[in-house]
Amino acid sequence: MLGLMQEWPLLCHKLIDHAALQHGDREIISRSIEGPIVRTNYGELRSRSLKVAQRLERDGFGLGDRIATLAWNTARHLEAWYGIMGIGAVYHTLNPRLFPEQILWIMNHAEDRAVFVDLTFLPLIEKVAGGVKSLKQVIVLTDKAHMPATSLPNAVAYEEWLGEADGDFAWKSFDENTAAGMCYTSGTTGDPKGVLYSHRSNVLHAMIACMPDAMGISSRDVVLPVVPMFHANAWGLGQSALMIGAKLVMPGGKMDGASIYELLDSEKVTFTAAVPTVWLMLLQHLEETGKKLPHLKKVVIGGSACPRAMTQKFQDNYGVEVIHAWGMTEMSPLGTLGTMKPVHDGLEGNARLDVQQKQGHAPFGVEMKVTDDNNVDRPWDGKTFGRLKVRGPAVARAYYGGAGKEQFDEEGWFDTGDVAHIDASGYMQITDRAKDVIKSGGEWISTIDIENLAVGHPDVAEAAVIGVAHPKWDERPLLVVVRKAGKEPSKDDILGYMNGKIAKWWMPDDVAFVAEIPHTATGKIQKTTLRQQFQDYRLPTA
């Protein structure tokens, strides 16, 4: 027997309709690429998105077409997303931090038919556009007055292009499983892989994100997504903020400490999210200037492990609650969030930080487990680690074009490639990427734990641990350190600080000082490059 409830397909344009109806005058503030801060609201955002949809359709784009965006977080980028989705086309966020050859490869693989591009990235698109056969149009996200001269024959200024539509348009209707968005993983090894979100997965993910024990945002919040829309959908904030009608503050291209502080302060931001690198810059700015964060309540930190010292500073020095989160492009991206459960009531100081070091628990809609290499479940005891596998309505079931089949099994589990343990209260902790664990004498050493500890040293700016060949143990850890400007900590200073805080056999065999640690386009430490750099390194213990 079937239920007798209405068919109400979960389509993304329902988010913008809802935001405009229920929260029409709630503001969206952007630091524009041209410079000034510009203000709009959900009502206007919807009208302009309808114009984008109408204009795209008039230009011959429609259902299933991949339309790329190469842009910072701004209201214009957001209205491009909703306009694209509103005709059943697919927004495809490109990461400008990739090399031009990678962008070219990705655009050809996705067969992008048009691209919305910020002024900042026009030179980048000029380099690659000629090589993308499917590309018909380049829409530069600016007005006529700011439109630069360009070598591209098919480039138009967004405002002029949009001005030719009157907005008298209705969203198209289609199945909720229709593709809505696309994002390629950064691909530290092999070619990048395309993840294809559906309308249904985007809407469900937005609901999951808003839940109180997840991000817990509401219409009373002022949300600043510092995490870019091209990094896994700005962690869903471009959808969840609309679902609940939060005021949105979009940082444009400026992510330095002073610029982010200016927005936090002037717009009275209550909730923000980004990778640790961004928060390192903000905390430095605060320390240098003595400024405080009186409005900010919560900061979500993820994308790579949040150092303990960072959590402590935000909470103790600025009264801001840290939510450590883990996720992946393949998961839309939220996987776990480190909000506290009742079992942690009363925990303070180090005991609370111990829990917050973990990446958190899975909300409804994310199933997870850890297994050994033979797919046998491992116990949730907070120490036995194994391969982390997930499934849910906003988790990929395949990559676009069929790559990476071995990561998906018949029972619907996706192998994340992360190594983790889960404790009895359901808190997961990442101990490594499967390919980064150090295998010392048959035992696994987690590099992330050692890195977290090392960056707690007051003179260490950044640290990475890699396995280096060892004649007796196969591999031993080498700690690679970037010193803070003007500081000269020695190997003994750093190892002395770490001694006693981790198992003795996890202690690095040596410390190498470097000026810079290589990063991927999404801000993660690029261990493949680092391992190449140190492939001939001889440990003093070898």
Task: Quote the CA–CA distance of 415 and 386 in Å, as a whole number.
Answer: 11
CB of 291 to ligand AMP, least distance (A): 26
Structure-block tokens of residue 185 = 């993983």
CB of 269 to ligand AMP, least distance (A): 21
The nearer residue to ligand AMP, 150 or 277, going by C-beta atoms, is 277
279 as an active site residue: the answer is no
- Which of 126, 127, 277, 444 is labelled catalytic? 444
The nearer residue to ligand AMP, 41 or 69, going by C-beta atoms, is 69
DSSP label of 5: P
| Three-state DSSP class for residue 85 | helix
| Three-state DSSP class for residue 364 | coil
The nearer residue to ligand AMP, 30 or 233, going by C-beta atoms, is 233
Q: CB within 8 A of 464, min separation 6: which ones? A: 447, 451, 479, 480, 517, 525, 527, 530
Structure-block tokens of residue 482 = 């970037």
The nearer residue to ligand AMP, 276 or 489, going by C-beta atoms, is 276
185 as an active site residue: the answer is yes
Task: Quote the CA–CA distance of 357 and 351 in Å, as a whole number.
Answer: 10
Task: Quote the CA–CA distance of 435 and 437 in Å, as a whole number.
Answer: 6
Task: Quote the CA–CA distance of 51 and 167 in Å, as a whole number.
Answer: 4
The nearer residue to ligand AMP, 252 or 302, going by C-beta atoms, is 302
Task: Write out the residues near ligand AMP by the rule CB under 6 A.
Answer: 185-186, 232, 302-305, 324-329, 333, 359, 416, 418, 430, 433, 522
The nearer residue to ligand AMP, 142 or 311, going by C-beta atoms, is 311
- Which of 439, 443, 487, 501 is labelled catalytic? 439
Task: Quote the CA–CA distance of 230 and 222 in Å, as a whole number.
Answer: 21
- Which of 74, 185, 336, 522 is labelled catalytic? 185
CB of 332 to ligand AMP, least distance (A): 10
CB of 427 to ligand AMP, least distance (A): 12
CB of 416 to ligand AMP, least distance (A): 5
- Which of 57, 79, 267, 330 is labelled catalytic? 330
CB of 391 to ligand AMP, least distance (A): 15
Task: Quote the CA–CA distance of 221 and 236 in Å, as a whole number.
Answer: 16
Strand runs (DSSP E) across 34-100, as ranges?
37-41, 66-70, 90-93
Q: Give, in order, the Cα–Cα distances in Å from 303 to each of 68, 329, 434, 442, 508.
A: 23, 10, 16, 29, 25
The catalytic site residues sit at 185, 330, 439, 444
